[in-house]
């Protein structure tokens, strides 16, 4: 299909008119622009600001609280590690009763205090009652008590100083 020169001319004129119309700022053709909103009232502004501040403070407090809790937990873990040395039975000298001594004593305290002590059998025996009365240890009686006290007296006897043989003690 081909167009005559007249048809081409008419088509061109219509297009030109269309472009012209589009280029023209015809008020009736404008999209309606909503009126600019009024600014918030000073009271509303102040309220919003206060809310934002409070939220920030809450967030900061929450962050600090979480931080403190995490630090407290980490600190407790570190201290727990120090207070619970990886001790095994062989930290004590080998002998009959070692297993019972290790198990019972380390229920409450590490072996350091045992290893630095040195008492006669009578004093070790008394100490069992003292720990029960003063420190809440379960009473130690019968064969197990004999086993524990014998072991302690044998391996942790008094060893300090040259004058242990007190003339007033049997």
Partner 1 sequence: MSRERSLQELYAQDPERADALAFGRRGALKGPALAAMGAALGATIPFAGRMPEGLLPAALAQPAGGTPTLRMDGKAPLILLGERPLVAETPESMLDDDVTPTDKFFIRNNGGIPERFAGDPKTWRVKIEGEVNTPLDLTLGELESRFETVTLRLQMECGGNGRAAFTPETRGNQWGNGAISNGEWTGVRLRDVIRAASPKDSARFTGHYGADPHLSGDPSRPSISRGMPIAKAMEDTTLVALRLNGEPIPLLHGYPVRLITPGWPGSLSQKWLTRIVLRATPHDGPGMGGTSYRVPVKPIVPGSSNNGADFVDIASMPVRGLLTNLAHGSRLPAGTRRLDLRGHAWAGDLTVRAVHVSADFGASWTEMRVNDAPNRHAWQRWQGSLELPSDGYFEIWTRATDSQGRMQPHAAANWNPQGYAANAMARTAILVG
Site residues (CB under 8 A) for partner 1?
A: 65, 68-69, 71-73, 75-76, 78-79, 82-85, 107-110, 112-113, 116-120, 122-123, 126-127, 130, 134-137, 158-166, 168-169
**How far is Cα 14 from Cα 2, in angstroms, rounded to an integer?**
18
**Do the Cβ atoms of 87 and 111 come closer than 8 Å?**
yes
**How far is Cα 131 from Cα 154, in angstroms, rounded to an integer?**
20
**How far is Cα 1 from Cα 48, in angstroms, rounded to an integer?**
70
| 53 versus 84: smaller Cβ distance to partner 1 | 84
CB of 159 to partner 1, least distance (A): 4
CB of 79 to partner 1, least distance (A): 5
CB of 103 to partner 1, least distance (A): 15
DSSP symbol at 104: H
| 51 versus 126: smaller Cβ distance to partner 1 | 126
């Amino acid at each position: 299909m081909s167009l005559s020169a007249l048809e081409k001319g008419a088509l061109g004129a219509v297009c030109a008119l269309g472009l012209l119309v589009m280029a023209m700022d015809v008020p009736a053709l404008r999209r309606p622009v909503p009126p600019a909103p009024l600014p918030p009232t000073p009271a509303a502004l102040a309220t919003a600001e206060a809310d934002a501040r409070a939220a920030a403070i809450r967030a900061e407090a929450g962050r600090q609280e979480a931080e403190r809790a995490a630090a407290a937990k980490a600190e407790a873990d570190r201290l727990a590690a120090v207070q619970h040395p990886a001790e095994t039975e062989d930290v004590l000298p080998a002998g009959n009763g070692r297993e019972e001594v290790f198990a019972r004593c380390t229920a409450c305290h590490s072996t350091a205090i045992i290893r630095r002590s040195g008492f006669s059998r009578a004093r070790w025996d008394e100490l069992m009652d003292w720990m029960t009365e003063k420190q809440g240890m379960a009473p130690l009686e019968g064969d197990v008590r004999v086993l524990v006290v014998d072991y302690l007296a044998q391996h942790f006897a008094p060893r300090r100083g040259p004058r242990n043989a007190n003339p007033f003690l049997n």
